[in-house]
Amino acid sequence: MDPWYELTRDLCITEAYRIGGLASNKNIVYAGTHDNGIWRLNDNAAAPTLKWQNVKEGDCGEVVVASDTEAYTYYFTTPAIRRIKGPNSNNQYTTPAVIVGFGPYLSTSTNTTLALDGNNNIYVGNLDLFKGTINSNTAISCNNVTTIGFTSPIGWSNQPLSTIAIAPSNPNVIYISKRNGLSTGPAVYRSDDAGATWLPVYVNSTIYGSTPPTPLAPNQQLPALSLNRLVVDPANPQRLWAVFSGYTYNQKVYESADGGATWRNITGGGLPNLPVNAIAAFEDGGLLHLVVGTDVGVYYSNSTLLACKLPQWKPLMQGVTANASFPNVIVQDVEIHGSGATECCEQLLSGAVYGKHLYPP
């Protein structure tokens, strides 16, 4: 992988929650920030002062781009989902169109997560899961936003979804999980029909479909910690990974090869005993690569390293100079471009001020 370069030198420092990029162009990145709106980076801009553009104001969270043409960008801003069109030839954006129909299920939490499936569908995860059809002419309305029903374990009704993971090779396969686990561990649900029905593939650490419920073997269970993010193998919809928060030693990254029913701990060696907040997967050079964002920077592994008796992780923070290296800071989001380049959204504590930066490799 190439070294890291800091891109925020011309950006007034702010706190970014999530980032969204284009699959085929690593130079365009959107960032949803705390109280400072949506910012767009164009790293190919002719002048440094044009690199960063404040697209819209507000307290914003997740942001996703509908296509490589940037025809529409969707983002969460308390307490609504909005859509903007642009930029046009004058580098301007349309007035945001509010997506309505979520009712009381859309809380003000910036943890709201969005996902696009490539088939003109948008999924919104908050206190419930919603699915809407992208309409290129009008704003999404309550006429085509529907709540996707799924059975949650008792006591989970007020906990937002932590992740929506759509299989890149089959958008009909979708995984969701709740943000916080119970004493028996987190729950993972899977849909094989684009959200029409849901399977509780991992609930209460029991064998899926067993009657009466039969506990899984300890080495097949997920830890009773907060599940931060799921990601699906780019080529295999039955293979996925989960990352966890908390400070429990050796319980950070887990892999499932059977659609979420059983799990294998691949934390191994090399990761710090700190929360893992984000994960991304891509294939390059005949190898599968995993990139995770932790509370002290970015780490990676690949098929070769994971095949070791003790799976290995290595820091991914080197730069062309000491000043260009990726710092040991909290990383909240990672994005993979089609070329295999990685974008990271990280949190930097400097004195009493939180700052945010974007670092592409």
Note whether residue 187 is domain-resident. Answer: yes
pLDDT band at 253 (very low <50, low <70, confident <90, very high): very high
**Confidence (pLDDT) at 233:** 97
* Residue 168: inside a domain: yes
Residues 295-311, mean pLDDT to the nearest whole number: 90
Residue 348 pLDDT more than 60?
A: no
**Among 80-89, 276-285, 292-301, whose mean pLDDT is lowest?**
80-89
Q: Kindly report the average pLDDT of the chain as a whole number.
A: 77
pLDDT, tens digit, 9 for 90 and up, residues 67-106 = 777 767 777 776 677 777 777 766 677 666 666 555 555 6
Provide the domain limits for residue 130. 17-240+247-264
Higher confidence at residue 252 or residue 24? 252
Q: What is the CATH number of the domain that holds 68?
A: 2.130.10.10
Question: Which sign, positive or negative, has the C-alpha torsion 355, 289, 335, 100?
Answer: negative
What confidence tier does 297 reach under pLDDT thresholds 50, 70, 90?
confident
Higher pLDDT, 337 or 296: 296
The pLDDT score that the predictor gives to residue 345 is 61
pLDDT at 244: 94
* Residue 85: inside a domain: yes
Tokens 């301007």 sit on residue: 92
Distance CA 113, CA 162 (A): 7
Predicted local distance difference test score (pLDDT) of residue 29: 82
pLDDT given at position 4: 67
Which pLDDT score is estimated for 350? 28
Is residue 185 within 8 A of residue 196, CB to CB? The reply is: no
Two tokens, residue 180: 């916080």
CA distances from 52 to 3, 8, 38, 337 (A): 21, 8, 10, 19
Looking at residues 281-285, what average pLDDT do you find? 86
Summarize pLDDT for 206-241 with one digit per residue, the tens: 888 888 888 899 999 999 898 999 999 999 999 999
Give the chain's domain count: 1
